[in-house]
Amino acid sequence: MHSTNFMAKFCFVTGFLLVMTIGQGYLQTALAVTAIQYNQNLGTGINLGNALDAPKEGEWGVTLEADYFRLIKEAGFSHVRLPVRWSSHAGLQAPYRIDPVFTERVRWAIKQARQNNLRVVLNMHHYEEFEVDPDAHRERFLALWKQISEEFKNESIDQVAFEIYNEPAKKIRAAFWNQLFAEALAMVRKNNRDRIIVVGPVQWNSVTALDTLQLPDDKNLLVTIHYYEPFHFTHQGAEWVGAESKNWLGTTWSGSAEQIAALKSDFDKAQKWADAHQRPIYLGEFGAYSKADMPSRAKYTQAVRENAAQHGFSAAYWEFCSGFGAYNPVIHSWRKAIRDALIPTKAGH
Ligand code: BGC
């Protein structure tokens, strides 16, 4: 009698716990946005480039201001991509501690975005030593993500995504990258179970390298590509590309049938990969440097943005107020042709 009573109680309590566990699991799954939904919500955004990704903020001429976030929201963008050079603000020896003052600066930027109802893609950018010697920097790379994921784990999973690395290139080869990404993801998942994580292929996140990307079985991933083709047009006169970029000055882009076909064909390739692998695509960077003529830049920007949308990609223009700038910080004004190319509803205003 006594033991039957015990068994009944045991079954009741176990059953109750089981229902609670399943219930909670269901609730969390139901609340987490799917990657597809998240990608739709990202819509069109803009990169706050050359600010926190400079060796020190301000060194490349951009210091973030609270007003920038308001302006971006008012113009009609729905997210910002926040490029961050963590590596120049962290110790060189284990535990590779990130300067808390810098972390607070990043937190401030996220807060400004959130207050303006802008989603955020927070990344790691320009860890140059890692690109040159990936093996030597592997441990530090992971240690940085351990800290970033812990620091920002309480940010809304509906509003803030993490991007593990911008444009893996140089010595970062596909096999290494696939392996390191899986490790970084497993670590981030410990405290960010349902967060959307962004990852792109090697060779500067190029469409042609998508086939080398091998992803873990994780449904909350967004795959990112960058698009700067034709490169001689978008990077004409770009000092960081090398002396030969001067020879490309004067290259125009008219949106000819041939140019549109090339763009479409590249995006078709990305979409084919996305369909085959069941992953949504985020075009995290595109744009043309200010050395190109404005009518060409505007036509190009509009064509890429439209084609991205037609292919179901979310997109972020490179970038807000520096060399590719959609906004002129000197005269506090949008470059209307670029802004209108990005946000069609503003056309004519
Ligand atoms: C780099 C920038 C560069 C841009 C266009 C970005 O990924 O971080 O420094 O201006 O690509 O080349």
Q: One digit per residue, pLDDT tens: the chain, 349 residues? A: 344 454 454 444 444 444 444 444 444 344 567 999 999 999 999 999 999 999 999 999 999 999 999 999 999 999 999 999 999 999 999 999 999 999 999 999 999 999 999 999 999 999 999 999 999 999 999 999 999 999 999 999 999 999 999 999 999 999 999 999 999 999 999 999 999 999 999 999 999 999 999 999 999 999 999 999 999 999 999 999 999 999 999 999 999 999 999 999 999 999 999 999 999 999 999 999 999 999 999 999 999 999 999 999 999 999 999 999 999 999 999 999 999 999 987 444 4
Which residue has 């176990």 as its token pair? 14
Ligand 1 pocket mutation pick from 240, 248, 291, 322 by most atoms within 8 angstroms of CB: 240
Note the pLDDT of residue 28.
39
Find the residues whose C-beta lies inside 6 A of ligand 1.
125, 166-167, 285, 318
Judge if the upstream peptide bond of residue 280 is cis by omega within 30 degrees of 0: no
Atom 12 (ligand 1): residue with closest C-alpha? 235
| Separation of alpha carbons 106 and 346, rounded Å | 30
CB 329 within 8 A of CB 67: no
pLDDT of residue 18: 44
Q: Tell me the C-alpha distance between 141 and 96, whole Å.
A: 9
Give pLDDT, residue 26: 41
Contact (Cβ atoms closer than 8 angstroms) between residue 324 and residue 287? yes
Q: Ligand 1 centroid to 91 CA: how many Å?
A: 25
Alpha carbon of 304 to ligand 1 centroid (Å): 17
Q: What pLDDT does residue 31 have? A: 52
Tell me the CA distances in angstroms from 21 to 13, 103, 228, 322, one per residue in order. 12, 35, 48, 50
pLDDT of residue 199: 98
Q: Which pLDDT score, from 0 to 100, does residue 11 have?
A: 46
Closest to 246 measured CA to CA, from 204, 286, 291 = 291
Q: Of the CATH numbers 1.10.1040.10, 3.30.390.10, 3.30.420.10, 3.20.20.80, which one belongs to the domain with range 6-346? A: 3.20.20.80
**How much is the pLDDT for 33?**
76
Which of 220, 238, 234, 346 has the alpha carbon at shortest distance from 299? 234
User: Can you give the residue ranges of every domain in the chain?
Assistant: 6-346
- In ligand 1, the atom with minimum distance to the C-alpha of 235 is 12
Q: Which two tokens stand for residue 226?
A: 């960058």
The three-state (H, E, C) secondary structure of the chain, written as one string:
CHHHHHHHHHHHHHHHHHHHHHHHHHHHHHHCCCHHHHHHHHCEEEECCCCCCCCCCCCCCCCCCHHHHHHHHHHCCCEEEECCCHHHHECCCCCCCECHHHHHHHHHHHHHHHHCCCEEEEECCCCHHHHHCHHHHHHHHHHHHHHHHHHCCCCCCCCEEEECCCCCCCCCCHHHHHHHHHHHHHHHHHHCCCCCEEECCHHHHCHHHHHHCCCCCCCCEEEEEEECCCHHHHCCCCHHHCHHHHHHCCCCCCCCHHHHHHHHHHHHHHHHHHHHHCCCEEEEEECCCCCCCHHHHHHHHHHHHHHHHHCCCEEEECCCCCCCCCEECCCCEECHHHHHHHCHHHCCC
Mutate to test the pocket of ligand 1, among 205, 206, 285, 291 (most ligand atoms within 8 A of CB): 285
* Two structure tokens written together for 150: 């812990």
CA distance 60 to 135: 29
- Interval between CA 288 and ligand 1 midpoint (Å): 11
